[in-house]
Amino acid sequence: MSDPFTKVFKDATDGTNYMNVFSDAAGSVTSRVVAVEVVLGPTNRNFAIGTTNSMGIVAAGPQVPTTFQWYFNTVSNFAGATKLVSGAHYGPAGVAGRGATGTNMWITNIVSGDQGFYWCAVTNLTFTNTGVAGSWPAVVPQAAQLLVSTAPTGGTITPTPQNNLWGSNTTFVVGSITGTNPAAGGMTFRWKKGGVNLANGAQTSGSTVAGATSDTLVISSTRAGDVGSYTVGVTNAAGGIVVGVPTGDGVLTENTPAPSITTVSTNGAGQVTMSFGSTNPFDTSSSFTLQSSGHVDGSSANGDPYTNNASAVFSGSNPFSVVGPMNGDTLFYRIRHKD
């Protein structure tokens, strides 16, 4: 009689005793007890150079393992792995569970040469099977890869400096970072403007920011309020740097060409119409404001500064036109570009 049983062992609670009960009309029979020891781990890790950290496994079940032995190889090949020895680097030696023969192997003052693959061979209690003494063969779980991170150094922001047209897109990219381990990854980025963290999304200036926490910062529809110095903090498990200080990288200025009025006309309905153009291809009819004053200099000292004409209507697509009311016998007009 047979009754196959299939189970995926995936956590510590699976390590226990198993048995099977066969039942029929004549009664029931209980099988022999099968003790299952589950070995979990180790798991991939990313440690900073110079730190002290551990690789560990979990062995759970009714038959307590008797020995543990850690192995190392620079490639994922257990057959060529080196048997590690407890000591100042793997240990410390003599501290239960912390050396190369413990469930948690501590690595002291991690160096770049520690990067590679680690295994822990686990051997169970001795047993007697059909009268022959012996021991269970060693169980070697999957390899765990250790990546060693070093603190980032260097770094540049490109292109810089930038002088961009109003309404255009601005892109800053941080690169040329050295001293890190590309395989280890784990780098984080934080862009700042004038020392203040940037957030993705709409800005008070009227632009939109994307990539505030990536290696590439994009400012869509650049405005005058975006002018300033940009820096980026780059960090990983081993440390961090600020790129852009004091090198002066990440400087942004903005260029707003003045509009040029070409024709001015009036009509009997008390309106003035102006045609004008712009050398900025990113300008639209909504980029401008019509202002008027009774004095050509629009000085506040004479009590008549230039003020926005809220009823002016802009239209067209370079060249543009604007129609506004004529208030008073003499008015001076100017077309102002929005910030």
For residue range 309-334, list pLDDT tens digits in order: 889 999 999 999 999 988 766 788 99
Residue 220 and residue 179 in one domain = yes
Tell me if 216 is assigned to some domain.
yes
pLDDT given at position 29: 75
**Beta strands in 77-161, from DSSP E residues, in sequence order:** 82-83, 104-107, 116-123, 126-129, 132-135, 144-149, 153-158
Last residue of a domain, one of 221, 255, 289: 255
Residue 171 and residue 206 in one domain = yes
**In this predicted model, what pLDDT tens digit does every residue of 219-258 receive, in sequence order?**
999 999 999 999 999 988 788 899 997 777 899 999 999 9
Residue 94 and residue 164 in one domain = no
Tell me if 18 is assigned to some domain.
no
Tell me if 19 is assigned to some domain.
no
Alpha-carbon distance 235 to 65, whole Å? 41
Residue 245 and residue 266 in one domain = no
Residue 312 and residue 329 in one domain = yes
pLDDT given at position 2: 63
pLDDT given at position 133: 46
User: What are the residue ranges in the chain where pLDDT is below 50?
Assistant: 127-135
With a CB cutoff of 8 Å and minimum separation 6, the contacts of 173 are: 157, 158, 215, 216, 217
Tell me if 59 is assigned to some domain.
yes
Q: What is the CATH number of the domain that holds 134?
A: 2.60.40.10
Tell me if 33 is assigned to some domain.
no
How many domains does the chain contain in total? 3
**Residue 281 structural domain:** 260-337
pLDDT given at position 7: 72
| CA separation, residue 293 to residues 200, 266, 297 (Å) | 40, 17, 8
What is the full DSSP assignment across 264-290? EEE-TTSEEEEEEE-S-TT--GGGEEE
Which tokens belong to 237?
A: 């498990």
What is the full DSSP assignment across 18-50? E--EEEETTEEEE---EE--EEE----EEEETT
Last residue of a domain, one of 100, 115, 149: 149
Last residue of a domain, one of 81, 115, 149: 149
**pTM greater than 0.95 (yes/no):** no
SS3 54: strand
Beta carbons of 152 and 242 less than 8 angstroms apart: no
